[in-house]
Amino acid sequence: EKYGLGRPALPEEIAAWDHDVSPDGTGLPPGSGSVEDGEVLFSDNCAVCHGEFAEGVDNWPELAGGFDTLDDDDPVKTVGSYWPYLSTAWDYVHRSMPFGNAQSLSDDDVYAIVAYILYSNDLVDEDFVLSNENFLEVEMPNADGFIIDDRETTEYVNWRAEPCMTGCKDSVEITMRATVLDVTPDVEGDEEAAMEPAEEPVVVAAVIDEALAAEGEAVFKKCKSCHQVGDGAKNKTGPHLNGVMGRAIGGVEGFKYSKVMGEAGGVWDDATLAAFLAKPREAMKGTKMSFAGLRSDEEIAAVTEYLKTFTE
Amino acid sequence: NTPDPLITEVQDWAAGLGDGVDATPYGLPIDYESDVVRRNVEWLTADTISSINFTPIHALDGTITPQGCAFERHHSGAIDLPKDDYRLMINGLVDTPLVFTYADLERFPRENHVYFCECAANTGMEWAGAQLNGAQFTHGMIHNMEYTGVPLRTLLNEAGLSGDMSGKWVFVEGADASSNGRSIPMEKALDDVLVAFKANGEALRKEHGYPVRLVVPGWEGNMWVKWLRRIEVMDGPVESREETSKYTDTLEDGTSRKWTWVMDAKSVITSPSPQSPIAHGHGPLVITGLAWSGHGAITRVDVSKDGGITWETARLAKPGEKMALTRFYLDTDWSGEEMLLQSRAIDETGYVQPTKAQLREVRGLNSIYHNNCIQTWHVKPNGEAENVEVS
């Protein structure tokens, strides 16, 4: 029975949403990208979480290495060591990455980034160019590492039996205790303990160098996956940056700062921000911000000027 | 004996007036229950945007999970998608690819079903041993709601399935930035999968996929795509990131199982438990917990107080329902003795929930997902309880 509801989907609409790519290459658009281009793109778009060499930052996934670890006590599952299909990497980068700015990469960019991920796994040479033409030629090391769910024969047949009710074992000993590990969060909820802004914000000069701020907007793309500015800016991975200049360091209410940031004291101004943005993890050891730092004083000056245009 | 002033003296609430209607047009729990909330474990994930939190199962009773405290799992954050902007596309191997609005969905015949939704990683931290101290943290990646929606089969028929559909798949995808996508065999898609827009009578909450999510009864939570925007009928599985690099179960020899969709029978005692110690003295004690199975209804739950040497059969609050939580009670008497509390679920296929040792023997320690082991709480003479592992 049909109800005559809905309307036909237009070809343009299907094209706009149907992006999935299958292991046999179905869905791959024409295009190509080199390891060389991929390295630059990876550094700009991916390295903040995945590391410059795809080694992973903090708890973010590592994408390279881990070969021959799958039967270890602590397997390292990366694109190289674990993923059975290259299509999965292309599909995921294309549809879902970068985190916070999904679907912003061109098809060629995606080919280049995937080529670089292969290179960082030593699966291709530095002059490799990945394209829809040679896509299926790449061999994934763990392609044969998977079996289809076999619980029916390895588990269910054995575990469908009338269970023991009395005298099921001779004795029972406690062999491990959760309190020894002590990894459970404090249920009293004091992690939100108020972090008093240390000082009154200072007044920020209102004169903006518009040209410099425009340059800063371009630089800010590196920050956007974690920080929001402008109307309706919210705390994301990082705190919102409206009015950051002159704001108490660690001063956004409701944002969970690292301990070091929360206790730093002081105010964000040209000097403190410049020091932080040059080498975040050196300037503030223990910061949750995993960004490696801006490359030049010019970039820092530009992004600082750009941030000054957003008041609280 | 001193008379209780709460009885002998006139209390404020007995003399004065309470709130008028509309004081809270959509109510929240009373302040005294403010500790009954979802909680996350910060060290588990890099960022709360792509993370998980846990249902406070230790403090709930019955079987229906209120949406407001039902665990959340997002891959790119809970998005804001207005009903009017909602579109659902069906494309691929169908006679006519279609687009539905939210209003269209409400015009199809709809059904109501209660189902549990369990994250495949629930209890995953227990593979290596007793870790987190509380039922909320060990078993809280589960909720159970009454869904209202349209069978996926109805929508697929509307788009038209011609020819032999055996061996075909559907790929289901969300509208959020993670565009979480999973492949589901056609047999399941045409069986009991629901395209749901209400839960527990009210609209889905934002964090549960407002306005529309997929409900895949008995199968791992990752497949219950939220903010569902597209269903594609395909010749084979996409082998997306969420069904290859994640949600695959690595065995001891390094081989990994894939397509382990069904959540096997499992149970846990929710009280007493580490976050819900025995606060009263000796005498009557209600031991209670939850049981469920992705293979069908729970038929029996046994409880042990001595770490698995002897077992007694608990009382089910009502007969088990297919792919839904079942509440069990053991009404007992406690005189301050130490207990090693365990529960063991049995489902309609005769499957008996395994011990940690049984699971580890087959799977090793690294499979992360699908840990349905028997859990042990050590209850001490003072009523406190701890997550322990026993021989």
| A210 in the same domain as A125 | no
A172 touching chain B per CB within 8 A: yes
CB–CB contact B310 A187 (8 Å): no
- Asked if residue A193 has pLDDT above 50, the reply is no
- Asked if residue A192 has pLDDT above 70, the reply is no
Asked if CATH classification 3.30.479.30 holds for the domain at B266-388, the reply, yes or no, is: no
Q: How many beta-carbon pairs below 8 A join chains A and B?
A: 257
Report the candidate in B73, B87, B117, B85 with the shortest Cα–Cα distance to residue B214.
Answer: B117
pLDDT tens for each residue of A32-45: 999 999 999 999 99
| A199 in the same domain as A104 | no
Mutation target to probe the A interface, by most A beta carbons within 10 A, among B40, B53, B80, B99 is B99
**A162 within domain boundaries:** no
Residues of A in contact with B236 (CB under 8 A): 22-24
CB–CB contact A5 B158 (8 Å): yes
**A91 within domain boundaries:** yes
**A199 within domain boundaries:** yes
Task: Provide the residue ranges of all domains of chain B, joining segments of one domain with +.
Answer: 73-254, 266-388
> What CATH number should be reported for the domain holding residue A225?
1.10.760.10
pLDDT at A203: 42
Residues of chain A with pLDDT > 90: what percent? 51
Can you tell me which residue has the tokens 């629901």?
A: B194
**A156 within domain boundaries:** no
DSSP-derived 3-state class of residue A156:
helix
- Asked if residue A147 has pLDDT above 70, the reply is yes
Radius of gyration of chain B (CA): 23
pLDDT at A156: 98
pLDDT at A109: 98
pLDDT at A206: 55
Residues of A in contact with B264 (CB under 8 A): 151, 155
**A18 within domain boundaries:** yes
- What is the token pair recorded at B204? 């889905």
CA distance B144 to B60: 12
The overall average pLDDT reported for chain A is 87
| pLDDT: which is higher, A243 or A21 | A21
CA distance B27 to B4: 32
| A201 in the same domain as A132 | no
CB–CB contact B307 A172 (8 Å): yes
| A209 in the same domain as A109 | no
**A299 within domain boundaries:** yes
Contacts of A248 (CB under 8 A, 6+ apart): A197, A198, A199, A201, A265, A266, A267, A268
- Asked if residue A137 has pLDDT above 60, the reply is yes
CB–CB contact A150 B389 (8 Å): no
Residues of A in contact with B273 (CB under 8 A): none
CA distance B137 to B318: 26
What are the φ and ψ backbone dihedral angles of A179, each rounded to 5 degrees? Answer: -70, -20
- Asked if residue A214 has pLDDT above 90, the reply is no
| pLDDT: which is higher, A118 or A268 | A118
| pLDDT: which is higher, B291 or A306 | B291
Domains held by chain A: number: 2
- Asked if residue A11 has pLDDT above 60, the reply is yes
Which residues constitute the domain of residue A235?
A: 193-308
Q: CATH for B73-254?
A: 3.90.420.10
CA distance B383 to A299: 61
CA distance readout (Å), B94 to B84, B162, B182, B189: 26, 7, 18, 14
The minimal CB distance from A58 to the residues B46, B178, B259 is found for B46
| A218 in the same domain as A132 | no
CA–CA min distance A24, chain B (Å): 9
Residues of A in contact with B135 (CB under 8 A): none
The low-confidence residues of chain B, meaning pLDDT below 70, are none
**A147 within domain boundaries:** no
pLDDT at A225: 72
A271 touching chain B per CB within 8 A: no
Can you tell me which residue has the tokens 């199975």?
A: B293
In A204-233, the residues whose Cβ lies within 8 Å of chain B are none
pLDDT at A254: 79
| A129 in the same domain as A44 | yes
Quote the distance between the C-alpha of residue A240 and its chain's center: 18
pLDDT at A1: 83
Q: How many CA atoms lie within 13 A of A104 on its CB side?
A: 14
CATH topology identical between B73-254 and B266-388 = no
From A95, which residue of chain B is nearest by alpha-carbon distance?
Answer: B179
Q: Which residues of B183-201 are buried (b: 16+ CB within 10 A; e: fewer)?
A: bbbbebbbebbbbbbbbbe
From A6, which residue of chain B is nearest by alpha-carbon distance?
Answer: B100
DSSP code per residue over A34-97: EHHHHHHHHHHHTHHHH-TTS---TTSPP-S--TT-TTSSS----TTTT-S-HHHHHHHHHHH-
pLDDT tens for each residue of A82-117: 999 999 999 999 999 998 899 999 999 999 999 999
| pLDDT: which is higher, B61 or A236 | B61
pLDDT tens for each residue of B140-172: 999 999 999 999 999 999 999 998 999 999 999
**A42 within domain boundaries:** yes
pLDDT at A187: 61
CB–CB contact B387 A177 (8 Å): yes
Residues of B in contact with A184 (CB under 8 A): 41, 132-134, 137, 274
